[in-house]
Amino acid sequence: MSSPAIPRPASVAAMRRILRPARLPQRPVTATPESCRSVCSGAAATRPGALNASSLRSPPSRARIPRPHLQPAARSYHSHDHPPPPGPFTPAESALLSAAYKRVPEHGFTQEALALGARDAGLLEISPAVFPGDGVFALIRWHLYTQRTALADTVDEVAAGTPAGPAGVAERVERLTWERLRANEAIVGRWQEALAIMAQPSHIPASLGELAQLADDILYLAGDVSVDPSWYTKRASLSAIYAAAELFQTTDTSPGFRETRAFLQRRLAEAAQAGAAVRSVGQWAGFTAGAVVNVLRSKGLRI
């Protein structure tokens, strides 16, 4: 935790294997702790073209690799005090969730979407029962995970024409964050309910984990190379800003979410000025509590 080693968040190590943007600076490879490289394997297995099949669990291709766990040694001072990220999905999960996800705009993150998706995939309505815990939360993780990792595919396009240097980094951070917010478009009407589910105690660690990963990926893709203590503050404040902007977005009716983008830009500018106070977890919890209250109100509860 106190080790000043080069921070190496889980997703990035994996992403680097599939994505080597020539123009973007790389972190020094020598600093990669071996323990981390092994525990981080397999963070990006579901997108087409991702090569990591090592943690897929199916009879023909499985290798019994434990799910990625952050060992204490691998935790640098980006103190992600959360369990491993919702890593790759098994083939069963991918088949069910990819089909169910298409039903989310109409049916929300619900059992209905899962059952209909199962049917669409040529499976049975009972098939989603295979999820050990909560299939609905898995569907939410599917959204978070696929949209986060999809950023890597768009980075060249998104970053095109941005200058080099710190100004360029800031601009790319803004554009990538906006790109991620736009990816909520199809399901934005369902997102407050999803936030309420994410805020359930048993889901908070995984939800916060995804949020931290997102901030981390954005900064990495934007070419942020800082290894000083600001590494942590940047991620924390970007997490908080993203969470706030996303919540704003759930009530934004302006065309093309113009208001949301303006909100995002204001928050980023403030953070740059104020030197970014670190309140990410608290803020996220606060925002999410807000969403929960909204959802309960919409269900007729007087609070």
Shortest CB 10 distance to other proteins, Å: 18
Residue from 11, 46, 76, 127 that binds other proteins (CB under 8 A)? 127
Q: What is the DSSP letter of 93?
A: H
Whole-number Å distance between alpha carbons of 134 and 203: 10
Shortest CB 281 distance to other proteins, Å: 23
126 vs 274 by CB, closer to other proteins: 126
Let me know: does 242 contact 215? Beta carbons within 8 Å.
yes
Residue from 118, 219, 240, 264 that binds other proteins (CB under 8 A)? 118
Instruction: Kindly tell me the sign of the dihedral angle through the C-alpha atoms of 67, 217, 210, 83.
Output: positive
Phi-psi domain of 48 (left: phi exceeds 0; alpha: psi -120 through 50; beta: other): beta
233 binds other proteins (CB under 8 A): no
33 vs 88 by CB, closer to other proteins: 88
Whole-number Å distance between alpha carbons of 115 and 251: 28
Structure tokens at 33: 């702790």
90 vs 98 by CB, closer to other proteins: 90
Instruction: Return all residues near 144 (Cβ < 8 A) that are at least 6 apart.
Output: 86, 207, 210, 214
Residue from 138, 155, 208, 236 that binds other proteins (CB under 8 A)? 138
- Sole window of 3-11, 56-64, 201-209, 232-240 interacting with other proteins (rule: CB under 8 A): 56-64
Whole-number Å distance between alpha carbons of 131 and 136: 9
Let me know: does 105 contact 187? Beta carbons within 8 Å.
yes
144 binds other proteins (CB under 8 A): no
114 vs 176 by CB, closer to other proteins: 114
Query: What three-state secondary structure class fits 279?
Result: coil
Instruction: Kindly tell me the sign of the dihedral angle through the C-alpha atoms of 260, 264, 266, 270.
Output: positive
Q: Which of the residues 188 through 217 are near other proteins (CB under 8 A)?
A: none
Instruction: Return all residues near 101 (Cβ < 8 A) that are at least 6 apart.
Output: 113, 117, 139, 142, 143, 146
- Sole window of 35-43, 84-92, 151-159, 192-200 interacting with other proteins (rule: CB under 8 A): 84-92
133 binds other proteins (CB under 8 A): yes
Instruction: Return all residues near 219 (Cβ < 8 A) that are at least 6 apart.
Output: 173, 234, 235, 238
Shortest CB 121 distance to other proteins, Å: 8
Residue from 27, 47, 67, 203 that binds other proteins (CB under 8 A)? 67
53 binds other proteins (CB under 8 A): no
93 vs 217 by CB, closer to other proteins: 93
* Site size toward other proteins, by CB under 8 A: 33
111 binds other proteins (CB under 8 A): yes
131 binds other proteins (CB under 8 A): yes
92 binds other proteins (CB under 8 A): yes
Task: Give the footprint of other proteins on this chain (CB under 8 A).
Answer: 57-59, 62, 64, 67, 89-93, 95-96, 107, 111-112, 115-116, 118-119, 122-127, 129-133, 135, 138
